Amino acid sequence: MGRVYSVSNGIQSYLNLKTTNTELVQRVCTLEEELQKYKIELENISDSILPDSLEIGIGRPIYHYTHARVTQKQIHGTNNYIILDKGSCQGIKEDMAVISVKGDIVGVVSVVSSNFSRVMPVLNPTYHPTCIIKNTKFFGTLFWDGNDPSFITLSGLPSHASYAPGDTIVTSGYSASFPEGVLVGKVEGTLKQKNKEYNSLKIRLFADFSTLSEVFIISNPLRDEQIQIEKGVVEK
């Protein structure tokens, strides 16, 4: 009987641990959204001190985070994908950004059903998000060559851009999907390129796709408005 109770208690502890983990992940989502609000408030305070302030923080979106679990994935093919257990019934839409629970870039939602969504990861040769060298304005596009899932290429970087091995690459914030500053990876070195006006960098990804099991889906509440203004169409 003691052995039975021991096994029973172990199972109960495991179930409680899963519940606690879910609660912690949801709390992380809430804290991340609160952090964005504080950052914008600080920017507005700083802007108000300067003469002729443009109040940059006003109008910036506060991104919302939804926790999801990976149900299936392919990361070694030419058309890689990741399936998540959240869909339109949970508010998920196409083109929403996806990051790991550690905050590293994963990809973007490409297809949505009622309760599932398919993600196009950065380990897909057809997906090319714009990224920058952290703390600079130099940007390029990510490109995966279909080989090692631990590395990706940042191409189209101006030849005069300053960088060094170990520098951090982050998202640019130029798209309506990803917020600025999402971690991508670190510079490993320079790749040979025929066009001398541009450089390509070898980047080691922060995200480990082989162990990826949980993610955050990011929604931009101002996405539709941003896309309309980019296309030159504004609803009155």
Taking the CA atoms of residue 30, residue 208, residue 129 and residue 112 in that order, the dihedral angle to the nearest 10 degrees is -60
Task: State which residues form the domain around 194.
Answer: 130-205
> Are both 53 and 69 inside the same structural domain?
no
> Are both 108 and 215 inside the same structural domain?
yes
CB 56 within 8 A of CB 43: yes
With 0-12 / 13-18 / 19 or more C-beta atoms within 10 angstroms meaning exposed / middle / buried, residue 198 is middle
Give a yes or no: residue 229 inside a domain.
no
> Are both 174 and 156 inside the same structural domain?
yes
Give a yes or no: residue 6 inside a domain.
yes
> Are both 32 and 4 inside the same structural domain?
yes
Query: Smallest Cα–Cα separation from 152: which of 131, 180, 176?
Result: 131
Determine how β-strand 97-100 pairs with β-strand 183-191. unpaired
> Are both 106 and 134 inside the same structural domain?
no
> Are both 79 and 47 inside the same structural domain?
no
Give a yes or no: residue 233 inside a domain.
no
Both tokens of 95, joined, read 């083109």
Residue type, 25: V
Q: Where are the beta strands (DSSP E) in 192-234?
A: 198-205, 214-219
Both tokens of 114, joined, read 């009622």
> Are both 146 and 189 inside the same structural domain?
yes
User: What does the H/E/C string look like for 13-38?
Assistant: HHHHHHHHHHHHHHHHHHHHHHHHHH
Determine how β-strand 97-100 pairs with β-strand 81-84. unpaired
> How distant is the alpha carbon of residue 18 from its chain centre?
24
> Are both 40 and 156 inside the same structural domain?
no
For the chain, the domain total comes to 3
**55-94: pLDDT as tens digits:** 434 456 788 899 999 999 999 888 999 999 999 999 999 9
Give a yes or no: residue 94 inside a domain.
yes
CB 156 within 8 A of CB 140: yes
Give a yes or no: residue 228 inside a domain.
no
> Are both 73 and 58 inside the same structural domain?
no
pLDDT per residue rounded down to tens, the chain (236 residues): 444 444 444 445 444 455 546 666 666 766 766 676 666 666 666 555 544 443 434 456 788 899 999 999 999 888 999 999 999 999 999 999 999 988 899 999 999 999 999 999 999 999 999 999 998 889 999 999 999 999 999 999 988 888 899 999 999 988 889 988 999 999 999 887 777 788 899 999 999 999 999 999 999 888 888 888 877 776 65
Give a yes or no: residue 114 inside a domain.
yes
Count of alpha carbons within 13 Å of 86, Cβ hemisphere only?
21
> Are both 141 and 112 inside the same structural domain?
no
> Are both 33 and 56 inside the same structural domain?
yes
